[in-house]
Amino acid sequence: MTYQSEIAKADALIGGQAHWDGIAPESVARMRVQNRFHTGLDIARYTAKIMRADMAAYDADPANYTQSLGCWHGFIGQQKMISIKKHFGTTKGRYLYLSGWMVAALRSEFGPLPDQSMHEKTSVPALIEELYTFLRQADARELGGLFRDLDKARGEGDEVRAAKLQQQIDGFETHVVPIVADIDAGFGNAEATYLLARKFIEAGACCIQIENQVSDEKQCGHQDGKVTVPHEDFLAKIRAVRYAFLELGVDDGVIVARTDSLGAGLTKQIAFTRAAGDIGDLYNGFLDCESVDPAAIGHGDVLISRDGQLMKPKRLPSNLYQFRAGTGEDRCVLDCITALQNGADLLWIETEKPHIGQIGGMVSRIREVIPNAKLVYNNSPSFNWTLNFRQQVFDAWEKEGRDLSAYDRSKLMSVDYDGTDLGMEADERIRTFQKDSARDAGIFHHLITLPTYHTAALSTDNLARRYFGEEGMLGYVKQVQREEIRQGIACVKHQNMAGSDIGDDHKEYFAGEAALKAGGAHNTMNQFAA
């Protein structure tokens, strides 16, 4: 639909209403173009198709991997997408990630909380809605600027410039992109998961990530004490999310099945088994058990039968059962295969380090059963990337027999190694990690869960140190405002970013010459036009 056709439609509508005096067809067309998404479901359907197309492109060529950054506020998500459009000219392949960790730490009415699903469950769909509100406002703001330029070109009689601006308006790329939204372990039973998934989707989420931990025992994937559930319990929640997508007409909705089994050594339940070798039996086969003499069965002992032999699973005082040590990778592979066979679209394997060989090894095993299996991977700030990759380089060079006398493996974080061959090789591996692991480890989507949490803390620390120190106001001007101006950061005109020009346009639509507009000659934002 072109800008001119929208004007024509509005003109035809308004022309049939004699009492709609003062309603300008072009103003109506502009408002419609600026607000193409009317509901969250419109957004979910639109972005789901984007993800599906991107997944197909990755299957054809792993160089087509996608990326996102976690955002904990609508403004942060908005600025990220504005920056991406400014620097790269397109949002293609760039998404948003919504982290349950950051919601817990930053958005709960209880105050900062650990990542244990104690925050209000509805705070997550509320953030999805907030993110899309800010992205839609970014559309309206950028298009508003194009409309102003169009009016100026027309006023100056510059038909060539006006035609180019109309082409820009017709080809405008929205800031609205897919969100990978974290539903944690589903916040309860399958019905609770279904109800919450509906809220996610109605707010605009086309992609929901769910993990196989016990809801009431949920832990951050990078902390200890994780407890998984039998496959049947997890699959019921995957089906609940799929039903929510289908009920709401988002047929292309994407489900990411996350397994925490690599770092989870505990389960709350012994799985129900119907026959030897079924999924429940396979799950129970990982339990740490010891043989039991029937004559020595103790009071309250829980027993299972394995190959005709009575076995006693190791049970902790917490009433949790323990898996055998060293079974994490096997459990991860089984988790992933069963999830993909029962409705999931993408996988998430939470690992303890960013190691392409480890990740790729598991994906290879999964692809023996599901050839197009692919991952969403957490490039987590919980990893010490510098140390991990310096250790990987050190170990690789040691295996090659290289001289490592200049390096102490126990002190590789030292700044002294920054300019060394080892340090530079490690940095190069970090730089190419996403490209390399997309090719060699089946990773379709790379995300950083908590980056803007850390950038907010770092930038605030730097500003506070300078502003409250000897630099005073220069600490703000030199490190913030001057850089905003020189780097073309749109927020330097913060009134415009907050919508003052959009408001002025609406005032003019509604009141004509009587409009009291904010963007006049005495607006101090004009200082930034130089």
Residues that are catalytic: 220
Helix or strand (DSSP H, E) at 377: strand 375-378
CB-based contacts of 95: which residues, under 8 Å, 6+ apart? 51, 66, 67, 68, 177, 178, 179, 180, 445, 447
Amino acid sitting at position 363: V
In the sheet that 289-291 helps form, which strands lie side by side, from edge to edge?
289-291, 309-313, 304-306
Nearest to 285 by CA among 260, 262, 267, 263: 267
What is 128-154 written as a DSSP string?
HHHHHHHHHHHHHHHHHHHHHHHHHHH
Q: Percent helix, strand and coil across the chain, each rounded to 5?
A: 55, 10, 35
Q: Parallel, antiparallel, or unpaired for β 309-313 and 304-306?
A: antiparallel
Cα 96 to Cα 81: distance, rounded to the nearest angstrom? 9
CB-based contacts of 483: which residues, under 8 Å, 6+ apart? 489
What is 149-192 written as a DSSP string?
HHHHHHHTT-HHHHHHHHHHHHTPPPS---EEEE-TT-SSSHHH
SS3 for 514?
helix
CB-based contacts of 506: which residues, under 8 Å, 6+ apart? none
Helix or strand (DSSP H, E) at 423: helix 421-431
Nearest to 6 by CA among 39, 33, 24: 33
Nearest to 193 by CA among 166, 174, 212: 212
Strand partners, 210: 257
**Dihedral over alpha carbons 493, 460, 483, 79 (to 10 degrees):** -50
Rg (CA), the chain: 28
